[in-house]
Amino acid sequence: MKLKALVLNLDYTPITVCTVQRAFLLVFLNKAELVKTNSSLTFHTVDRTFSMPSVIKLTRYVNIPYKGVVLSRENVFKRDRFKCQYCGTSKELTLDHLIPKANGGKTSWNNLITACKKCNSQKGNSSLDEVGFQLAYRPFRPSYIMYLKDLSGNRYEEWKPFLEQKSSKVA
């Protein structure tokens, strides 16, 4: 079973995602409270039926240091929705530095984008203006809340109120 549950801190701040089995155990051991359930799914024992957790809230506040999204190839692809930022294709993807490393460009969220091999080799060590390329959108550093939203996809409607509420404060 690959179903997930959103874990909220005591102040309803989203902090992580875990399996529904782990979420159920945290609720069963009184380490968390059930906030939202997946109404169509349940756990069954010999003599009882339990709602499957979708969102849980910890019963004590956990101090979490700043959580950022790690700069990695996979996370840049996720941010750019696995599409070339120049032509929109999703085939043969690679990373491209907007300001080429040869020209002093850094490896950072604001300088890396997803590009297909064709566009990347066409651009080479040139600037966007020199080759006439336009970006689909400017690169940015994604927030942790955005990362959790993307992880949930559209499957977890129960998560949206908790992720939408916090992401408006982050932006």
The answer to whether residue 107 scores a pLDDT higher than 60 is yes
Same domain, 110 and 88: yes
Please tell me whether residues 16 and 60 are part of one structural domain: yes
Residues 8 and 60 in one domain: yes
Same domain, residue pair 98 and 115: yes
The answer to whether residue 136 sits within a structural domain is no
Give the torsion sign (CA, 25, 29, 31, 33).
positive
Per-residue confidence (pLDDT) for residue 162, from 0 to 100: 83
CA distances from 47 to 24, 51, 79, 168 (A): 17, 14, 46, 44
Report if residue 12 sits inside a domain: yes
Same domain, 38 and 92: no
CA dihedral 152, 158, 162, 163 (to 10 degrees): 20
> Mean pLDDT across the stretch 8-27?
91
Do the Cβ atoms of 59 and 34 come closer than 8 Å?
no
* Mean pLDDT value across residues 133-141: 92
The Cα 80–Cα 88 span in angstroms is 10
Rounded distance between C-alpha atoms, residue 92 and residue 153, angstroms? 23
Whether residues 17 and 48 share a domain: the answer is yes
Q: Give tens-digit pLDDT for 36-79.
A: 988 777 878 888 888 889 999 999 999 988 777 889 998 999 89
Q: Tell whether 20 and 50 lie within a shared domain.
A: yes
Q: Are residues 95 and 45 in the same domain?
A: no
Number of domains in the chain: 2
Supply 118's token pair: 């064709």
The pTM for the full model equals: 0.65
Q: Which domain holds residue 13?
A: 4-66+143-170
Comparison of pLDDT for 44 and 12, the residue scoring more: 12
Q: For residues 170 and 42, which has the higher predicted lDDT (pLDDT)?
A: 42
102 domain residue, yes or no: yes
In degrees and rounded to multiples of 5, residue 10 shows phi and psi of -60, -30
pLDDT at 44 (0 to 100): 81
Q: Which two tokens stand for residue 39?
A: 């109404």
Question: Is 43 found in the same domain as 14?
Answer: yes
Q: Looking at the predicted structure, is the pLDDT value of residue 171 above 50? A: no
Residue 46, both tokens: 């010999």
